[in-house]
Amino acid sequence: MTRADALAVWAALALVVVLTETLAHTRRHRVRGFGALAAPLLARAPSRAVLLLGWMWLGWHLFAR
């Protein structure tokens, strides 16, 4: 994967996030925002730990290179 490919993937992911959040705020009953989706995961300590470890692993493998 080239640098341009990686930037295109990150741009596409950012676009999906922006569009999803926009839909969540304009049509409140149809699409849930990322905060509402993450709330059940962040409600308990074990799932917060798994989420943190997953985020650390992702950061190490994608950003530390």
How many CA within 13 A on the CB side of residue 58? 6
Nearest to 31 by CA among 22, 39, 23: 23
Q: pTM higher than 0.75, yes or no?
A: no
pLDDT attached to residue 29: 66
Q: So where are the chain's domains?
A: 1-31, 34-65
Q: What angle do CA 31, 5, 24 make, to 5 degrees?
A: 10
pLDDT in tens, the chain (65 residues): 788 898 899 899 999 989 888 888 887 667 788 888 888 888 999 999 998 998 898 888 877 76
What is the model's pLDDT at position 32? 81
